[in-house]
């Protein structure tokens, strides 16, 4: 009888364990505790990333390359424009400087013109060769100074009269000089690369006399 009681007791324990397991609700996995539930959208995005992971990056790089090309072209145009502006400025500054220097040379030459005129008057009135030789030497030196300033004396005697270049103060009959040509010079004239500094005053031949 004792064995029957123990067997019944054991059966009751097994029944209780089975019933407890069946009645106990199935709890969450301990490894998933603390994690937020994953939505369907996140699952789709993750699947798409995994699917495209092995594909080339051309679709991503092409827009970047186009953007870089546009920026490069913009900077290149700006660089070319800056170079052109600087070149124009350099040319304009060089031209202005050249004109300023030329203006300074002309001003210096104009101040020396009365000195040259006085030398010519002295040569016309000189009585002896020593005085004439001294004045001629000084006149030659002054002409060299004019040349160093870019100023040249205008040659007149025997040249055809040019109303744009010469100033006629008289007409005189001449058998040696053809009509319309210069026979004498009463005041020297000068010019430079810019133009006329001072017109020479000249006597123009009217040809042979009628008598």
Cα 202 to Cα 185: distance, rounded to the nearest angstrom: 4
Q: Average per-residue pLDDT in the chain?
A: 78
Superfamily of domain 154-211, CATH level 4: Head domain of nucleotide exchange factor GrpE (2.30.22.10)
Tens-place pLDDT, residues 112-132: 999 999 999 999 998 899 999
Structural domain boundaries in the chain: 86-150, 154-211
Burial class (CB in 10 A: 0-12, 13-18, 19+), 83: exposed
27 Cβ contact partners less than 8 Å away, ≥ 6 residues apart: none
Q: 135 and 123 in contact (C-beta within 8 Å)?
A: yes
Distance CA 190, CA 204 (A): 18
Render pLDDT for 29-58 as a digit per residue (tens, 0 to 9).
444 454 555 455 555 545 554 454 544 555
pLDDT in tens, 75-86: 888 888 999 998
Q: What is the pLDDT of residue 58?
A: 56
State pLDDT tens for residues 135-174: 999 999 999 999 999 999 999 999 999 999 999 999 999 8
Transcribe 137-185 into DSSP letters: HHHHHHHHHHHHTT-EEPP-TTSBP-TTT-EEEEEE--SSS-TTBEEEE
In this predicted structure, what is the pLDDT of residue 146? Answer: 95
At 77 the pLDDT is: 87
pLDDT at position 1 over 70: no
Cα dist from 2 to 5, 6, 11, 14, 175, whole Å: 5, 7, 15, 19, 181
């Amino acid at each position: 009888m004792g064995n029957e009681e123990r067997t019944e007791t054991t059966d009751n324990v097994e029944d209780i364990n089975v019933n407890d397991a069946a009645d106990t609700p199935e709890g969450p996995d301990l490894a998933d505790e603390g994690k937020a539930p994953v939505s369907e959208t996140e699952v789709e995005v993750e699947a798409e990333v995994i699917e495209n992971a092995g594909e080339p990056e051309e679709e991503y790089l092409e827009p970047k390359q186009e953007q870089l090309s546009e920026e490069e072209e913009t900077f290149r145009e700006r660089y070319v424009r800056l170079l052109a502006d600087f070149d124009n400025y350099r040319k304009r500054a060089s031209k202005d400087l050249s004109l300023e220097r030329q203006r300074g040379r002309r001003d210096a030459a104009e101040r020396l013109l009365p000195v040259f005129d006085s030398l010519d008057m002295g040569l016309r009135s000189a009585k002896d060769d020593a005085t004439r030789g001294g004045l001629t030497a000084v006149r030659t030196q002054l002409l060299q100074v004019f040349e160093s300033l870019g100023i040249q004396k205008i040659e007149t005697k025997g040249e055809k009269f040019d109303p744009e270049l010469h100033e006629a103060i008289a007409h005189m009959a001449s058998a040696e000089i053809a009509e319309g040509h210069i026979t004498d010079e009463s005041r020297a004239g000068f010019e430079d690369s810019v133009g006329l500094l001072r017109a020479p005053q000249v006597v123009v031949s009217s040809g042979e006399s009628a008598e």
